């Protein structure tokens, strides 16, 4: 395998990668045998499936038009025989429906065997192309590379790093590491830190297992249908975003648009019901300032001076993107240094790393794609930029960044 040479390597087999491959094959079917996808699982959308199952998420937050298939109406047609799997208010696809549809897409495009079970841990630029270092020590040579790994880093509040007392590993975890299906929580007191939709899913999951939950957030809980305003899906907001030439201002626009997490009206309704039945306490505009493991439980000190006891702490504090913290990009940053703004790389209009044939999609492409870069809609926007460049290499390389 060390001598293997491939044309297009796609690192990651999630929704972003699947969207890119279907859009690419729609334009150039002959590239079918020249694409190799790398993912540790060896399967498509494995991480997505696990996350939705682990947090018992019943349906997506994105409307029915957002999916990996180039035809926007494909999922709606697929759902015609399953109308009860589209949820109000905007026909949000149920998790089971969406998963079935994605496997249907994978089979129709004959992509079942396109994913190689390997973890890429290094991308080394060569004079022509790249050497991909795999976790098992082997290497692969690739002419062109698309990074579609997600690359999100769990955000952990500062007080967590200051905990001085030893504690059991499972008693303080980030939401990414929680699998509700494996937990017995009857009679437990759980503190969930964070005010986004993930905190809501975890709260309902814990309450359904007999726990009492406290939901604590540093701001008031925000109720929104979508995590970013629908105006970010088209020219309404993107026109101004792309006209902005200051990358730092663009970064600020992304933060303001996403605004640190929100809950859907439907989730807020469920949480209020739980509060009325005394299974849930809200602590908005409240921050933890310290915690220590005492005996068999947490003693948590809040900024209001109260000390509260909990059996578990779950951090639904979100993720961030920082290309400088991901070792897979270390060689690229050393050999081809580029501007990085608060963790996000400045790419060319085709989402290409300057002077190379390395492309980046997902949250790391936010400065070009906008606030929904990490979302399903962002995957389509990224594909619209990358596909023309893969079909005609070096396309647009001299254009100013957009």
Q: What is the DSSP string of 316-369?
A: ---EEE-GGG-GGGHHHHHHS---EETTEE---TTSB-TTSSEEE-SGGGHHHH
Residue listed under structure tokens 């005492």: 294
Kindly give, in sequence order, each residue whose CB lies less than 8 Å from that of residue 90, ignoring residues fewer than 6 positions away. Answer: 63, 64, 225
Q: How far apart are the first and last CA of the chain?
A: 38
CA angle (95 as vertex; 90, 97 as ends), nearest 5: 85
Tell me the angle at which helices 15-27 and 376-391 cross, rounded to the nearest 10 degrees.
40
Residue 396 has pLDDT above 70, yes or no: no
Within 10 angstroms of residue 210's Cβ, the number of other Cβ atoms is 12
How many residues does the structure list for the chain? 402
Q: Confidence class of residue 375 from pLDDT cuts 50, 70 and 90?
A: very high
pLDDT of residue 393: 60
CA–CA gap between residue 201 and residue 206 (Å, rounded) = 9
Q: What is the mean pLDDT of the chain?
A: 95
pLDDT of residue 3: 55
Kindly give, in sequence order, each residue whose CB lies less than 8 Å from that of residue 241, ignoring residues fewer than 6 positions away. Answer: 232, 250, 253, 370
Name which of 74, 144, 59 is nearest 109 in CA terms. Answer: 74
> For residues 201 and 178, is the Cβ–Cβ distance under 8 A?
no
Spell 165-179 as b/e; 16+ CB within 10 A means b.
Answer: eeeeeeebebbbebe
Spell 231-241 as b/e; 16+ CB within 10 A means b.
Answer: ebbeeebbeeb
Residue 397 has pLDDT above 50, yes or no: no
Residue 344 has pLDDT above 70, yes or no: yes
Burial class of residue 7 in the structure, from the number of CB atoms within 10 Å of its CB (0-12 exposed, 13-18 middle, 19+ buried): middle
The domain limits of the chain are 5-153+320-391, 158-227+262-317
pLDDT of residue 398: 39
Q: Which two tokens stand for residue 43?
A: 């399967």
> For residues 240 and 308, is the Cβ–Cβ distance under 8 A?
no
Residue 142 has pLDDT above 60, yes or no: yes
> For residues 326 and 151, is the Cβ–Cβ distance under 8 A?
yes
Question: 158-227+262-317: what fold?
Answer: FAD/NAD(P)-binding domain (3.50.50)
CA pseudo-torsion sign 123, 361, 319, 45: negative
Residue 401 has pLDDT above 50, yes or no: no
pLDDT of residue 259: 83
Superfamily designation of domain 5-153+320-391: FAD/NAD(P)-binding domain (3.50.50.60)
Query: C-alpha distances in angstroms, 79 versus 59, 94, 395?
Result: 13, 10, 38
Residue 394 has pLDDT above 90, yes or no: no
Judge if the upstream peptide bond of residue 150 is cis by omega within 30 degrees of 0: no
pLDDT of residue 160: 98
pLDDT of residue 402: 46
Residue listed under structure tokens 């939705």: 52
- The beta-strand segments (E) located in 82-160 are 86-87, 92-93, 115-117, 120-125, 130-134, 139-147, 152-154
CA–CA gap between residue 153 and residue 362 (Å, rounded) = 13
> For residues 228 and 372, is the Cβ–Cβ distance under 8 A?
yes
3-state secondary structure of 300: strand
């Amino acid at each position: 395998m060390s001598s293997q040479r491939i044309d297009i390597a796609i690192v990651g087999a999630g929704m972003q990668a699947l969207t890119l491959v279907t859009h690419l094959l729609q334009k150039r079917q002959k590239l079918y045998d020249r694409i190799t996808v790398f993912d540790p699982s060896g399967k498509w959308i494995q991480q997505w499936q696990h996350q939705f199952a682990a947090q018992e998420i019943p349906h997506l937050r994105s409307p029915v038009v957002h999916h990996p298939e180039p035809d926007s109406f494909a999922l709606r047609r697929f759902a015609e025989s399953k109308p009860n799997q589209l949820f109000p208010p905007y026909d949000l696809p149920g998790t089971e429906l969406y998963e079935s549809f994605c496997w249907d897409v994978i089979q129709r495009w004959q992509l079942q065997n396109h994913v190689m079970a390997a973890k890429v841990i290094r991308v080394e630029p060569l004079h022509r192309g790249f050497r991909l270092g795999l976790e098992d020590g082997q290497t692969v040579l690739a002419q062109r590379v698309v990074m579609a790994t997600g690359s999100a880093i769990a955000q952990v509040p500062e007080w967590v790093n200051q905990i001085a007392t030893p504690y059991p590993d499972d008693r303080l975890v980030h939401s990414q590491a929680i699998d509700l299906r494996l937990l017995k929580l009857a009679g437990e007191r759980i503190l969930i830190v964070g005010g986004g939709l993930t905190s809501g899913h975890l709260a309902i999951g814990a309450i359904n297992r007999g726990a009492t939950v406290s939901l604590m957030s540093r701001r008031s809980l925000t109720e929104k249908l979508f995590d970013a305003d629908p105006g970010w899906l088209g020219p309404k907001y993107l026109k101004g975003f792309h006209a902005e030439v200051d990358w730092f201002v663009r970064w600020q626009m992304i933060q303001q648009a996403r605004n640190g997490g929100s809950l859907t009206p439907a989730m807020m309704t469920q949480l209020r019901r739980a509060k009325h039945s005394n299974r849930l306490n809200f602590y908005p505009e409240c921050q933890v300032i310290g915690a220590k493991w005492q005996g068999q439980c947490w003693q948590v000190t809040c900024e209001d001076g109260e000390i509260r006891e909990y059996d578990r702490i779950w951090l639904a504090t979100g993720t961030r993107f920082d290309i400088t913290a991901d070792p897979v990009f270390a060689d690229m940053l050393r050999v081809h240094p580029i501007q990085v703004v608060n963790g996000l790389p400045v790419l060319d209009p085709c989402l290409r790393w300057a002077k190379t044939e390395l492309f980046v999609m997902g949250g790391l492409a936010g400065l070009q794609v906008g606030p929904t870069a990490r979302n399903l809609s962002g995957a389509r926007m990224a594909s619209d930029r990358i596909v023309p460049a893969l079909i005609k290499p070096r396309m647009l390389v001299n254009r100013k960044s957009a």
